[in-house]
Chains A and B, each alone.
Chain A
Amino acid sequence: MNTPLLEVSELRKHFPIKGAFGRTAGAVKAVDSVSFTLQRGTTLGLVGESGCGKSTTGKVLMRLLDPTSGSIKLDGQEISSFKGKELNAFRRRVQMVFQNPASSLNPRMSIGAAIASPMVEQGIRPPGGVTARVHDLMDRVGLRPEHANRFPHEFSGGQRQRIGIARALALDPDVVICDEPVSALDVSVQAQVVNLLKDIQRDTGISYIFIAHDLAVVKHMADEVAVMYLGKIMEQGPNKRIFADPRHPYTRALLSAVPSVDLDAALTERIRLGGDLPSPSNPPSGCVFRTRCPAHALLPATQQSRCASEVPAGEVACHFPAAPLAVPAARG
């Protein structure tokens, strides 16, 4: 097998909590021992609910945050300790598209200048000049090149997201990390942007890390899917397998919670999770999902103690993936 484009292993990002007199009182384990690989020309979808660590993972990959420990390899080269010039060169190859196109574009900068800024910043003069390249990029993402002198407020949300995509593509990166790129958009416009991202991938062979909370969008975008919960990956695998045959109780609960438009398919399996997310500064021991797990309550005591003491690993991070799930509690 080829070297994967991106190989992440045992990645951790802990944010220290400061106690009295500057002592460290603990840590928020935002990302805890995350491993995955990304093959060239494919898309990895990172899904999970708010606070699961998916955005932090994206920021660490981009080296906007320094990892606490673990390794990130791009084309086999360890990049987690890059500094200065090396880091700058690395950023040419990994770019990012943000969730909110209104706040990720400088309102006083024309969109042409915004799209050109990565090239200016990196001191790159493309053949044919920067302006021609900007026009190319705008054309590529479905904007009219003659609008290059306009400002972000003159564009709609969907168009602004196209500007963000054009800017991310300016340096011809190998990987684009898309952090919730369509969640601020209306459905009809969201579909335009999803299709655009897929077309760009088909034409250029670019790879994406696609971070989203919307499972249906991830199903349409990703080749591989990793489901995160409380800083850990609960289940990962090929898109088809995850959506057709989810094995981890959390994935199953997450999928069954999405309201379906299929009126006749209802009532197959409705799993309801009780309670709220535990605090990431004090996660449950062993399996972090056990406190809300619909299978856990039905397990015999000996098996429950294993969930509490041993951290599950593997593609399906669950000790007893075949265990029956508890029936949802009565309504109301």
Chain B
Amino acid sequence: MLSVKDLSVRFPTDDGMVAALNGMDLQLHRGETVGLVGESGSGKSVTSQAIMGLFKESKAEISGEISFEGTDLLALDEDRMRAFRGKKIGMIFQDPLSAMHPFYTVGSQIGEAYRVHNKVSRKAAKQVAIDMLGRVGIPDPKNRANSYPHEFSGGMRQRAMIAMALVCEPELLIADEPTTALDVTVQAQILDLISGLQAETNSAVIFVTHDLGVVAQLCQRVVVMYGGQCVEQASVRQIFTSPSHPYTRGLMASMPHLTGEDDRLTPIPGSPPALLDLPPGCIFADRCDVAALVPGNRCQTERPQLLSTSEHAARCHAHEMGLLPATIKAKA
């Protein structure tokens, strides 16, 4: 349904070109939920914004391919992209307060999203908005549709945001850290809501997050990102039982758990790469504990490839050569 191939996005800055994405690959099937996981600066949000075509009028240099149901999204001009945005692909942002217009009521903003793609009267659009607010679990939607964004709590605002993204019943929903700003108990409500609505509409979801716990709960497949690349992709079960990229393993070892006794965390040494000046070899090599096992400085000189044909793929020389130590100690 959606296929992203070798996507690169570079932004010109005063200090030089920032390579935000360096050959990103992503495949998505209808009705599937894929988690896009990574730390800040790993390119998760840039990937989702590129799919939405949000860089069309910017100075960013984009290469590669994004095809959605056979249409090459990168080749579309802004006008034709607009027909896709909202209608076929919906997006939920992290901070609904800055994503919504403070001067318009929630109901009219949701109605507007509907009217852009459907020829209906304002009145009819408002009714659609009220129905949608009801579906996302806002009590008394008829009256709440007349409220302004600031009159909603954080969780309700995120519900309204979801209503806005889903009002045209898009085939693909991109959720960019939709629960990061929320408290856990509210996050749990929103996750339930998203998976419930997805089961109802059978749309595909790209869920961008830095939280592996959220991924385990919501997604079928995971794409782990680091330094603007997909470093590992696998089913949720595979990623948690046999992570095959040293970065994925490091991420899991550094995560505090609610269960188990092991109270010493194992951090990944160093910090994420500067995207201004990326090494020629593996981007993770300087923080990697298995790079030393690979002969001939290969990790420092040659960029590993992602064999995306297989179900479970990792962009790692050591993995490819079978040099990766057996799986990390399983945590209780």
Is B250 part of the binding interface, using a Cβ–Cβ cutoff of 8 Å? yes
Is A63 part of the binding interface, using a Cβ–Cβ cutoff of 8 Å? no
Within 8 A of B (CB), among A183-202: 186-192, 194-195, 198
Take A195-B267, A263-B240, A273-B185 as given contacts and tell me if A332 and B137 are in contact as well, using a CB distance cutoff of 8 Å.
yes
- A306 surroundings in chain B (CB, below 8 A): none
Determine if B259 and A189 form an interchain contact, defined as CB atoms under 8 angstroms apart: no
Determine if A191 and B258 form an interchain contact, defined as CB atoms under 8 angstroms apart: no
Is B193 part of the binding interface, using a Cβ–Cβ cutoff of 8 Å? yes
Determine if B216 and A260 form an interchain contact, defined as CB atoms under 8 angstroms apart: yes
B241 (CB) vs chain A CBs: closest residue: A263
**Distance between Cα atoms of A149 and B258 in the complex (Å):** 40
Within 8 A of A (CB), among B219-247: 236-237, 240
Is B17 part of the binding interface, using a Cβ–Cβ cutoff of 8 Å? no
Most buried by A among B39, B185, B189, B265: B185
Within 8 A of B (CB), among A262-314: 262-263, 265-266, 272-274, 276-277
Binds B, one of A117-125, A127-135, A166-174, A251-259: A251-259
Determine if A192 and B267 form an interchain contact, defined as CB atoms under 8 angstroms apart: yes
A193 (CB) vs chain B CBs: closest residue: B267
Is B197 part of the binding interface, using a Cβ–Cβ cutoff of 8 Å? yes
**Distance between Cα atoms of A54 and B38 in the complex (Å):** 29
Q: Which of B185, B196, B255, B265 contacts A195 (CB 8 A)?
A: B265
Is A143 part of the binding interface, using a Cβ–Cβ cutoff of 8 Å? no
Binds B, one of A26-34, A89-97, A212-220: A212-220
Determine if B137 and A257 form an interchain contact, defined as CB atoms under 8 angstroms apart: no
0/1 interface trace, chain B 138-174, chain A, CB 8 Å (1 if under):
0000000000000001011000000000000000000
Determine if B214 and A259 form an interchain contact, defined as CB atoms under 8 angstroms apart: yes
Determine if A186 and B185 form an interchain contact, defined as CB atoms under 8 angstroms apart: no
Is B187 part of the binding interface, using a Cβ–Cβ cutoff of 8 Å? yes
- B271 surroundings in chain A (CB, below 8 A): 156-159, 189
- A189 surroundings in chain B (CB, below 8 A): 267-268, 271
Is A20 part of the binding interface, using a Cβ–Cβ cutoff of 8 Å? no
- A194 surroundings in chain B (CB, below 8 A): 256, 265
B216 (CB) vs chain A CBs: closest residue: A261
Is A50 part of the binding interface, using a Cβ–Cβ cutoff of 8 Å? yes
Is A49 part of the binding interface, using a Cβ–Cβ cutoff of 8 Å? yes
- A243 surroundings in chain B (CB, below 8 A): 258
- The distance from the CB of A284 to the nearest CB of chain B, in whole angstroms, is 17
- A195 surroundings in chain B (CB, below 8 A): 264-265, 267
- The distance from the CB of B152 to the nearest CB of chain A, in whole angstroms, is 10
Is B71 part of the binding interface, using a Cβ–Cβ cutoff of 8 Å? no
Is A85 part of the binding interface, using a Cβ–Cβ cutoff of 8 Å? no
- A23 surroundings in chain B (CB, below 8 A): none
Determine if B255 and A213 form an interchain contact, defined as CB atoms under 8 angstroms apart: no
**Distance between Cα atoms of A214 and B185 in the complex (Å):** 12
Is B254 part of the binding interface, using a Cβ–Cβ cutoff of 8 Å? yes
A190 (CB) vs chain B CBs: closest residue: B254
Is B290 part of the binding interface, using a Cβ–Cβ cutoff of 8 Å? no
B192 (CB) vs chain A CBs: closest residue: A331
Take A186-B272, A219-B258, A273-B185 as given contacts and tell me if A191 and B213 are in contact as well, using a CB distance cutoff of 8 Å.
no
Residues of chain A having any CB pair with chain B under 8 Å: 49-50, 156-159, 186-192, 194-195, 198, 213-217, 219-220, 243, 253-263, 265-266, 272-274, 276-277, 331-332
Extra A-B contacts (19), CB below 8 Å, given A265-B259, A331-B195: A49-B183, A156-B271, A188-B39, A189-B267, A191-B268, A192-B269, A195-B264, A213-B183, A215-B258, A216-B255, A216-B256, A216-B258, A220-B256, A257-B185, A259-B218, A260-B213, A263-B216, A331-B193, A332-B196
Residues of chain B having any CB pair with chain A under 8 Å: 39-40, 135, 137, 153, 155-156, 183-189, 191-193, 195-197, 200, 210-214, 216-218, 236-237, 240, 250-259, 263-269, 271-272
The 3 closest A-B pairs by CB, nearest first: A259-B213, A191-B267, A191-B254
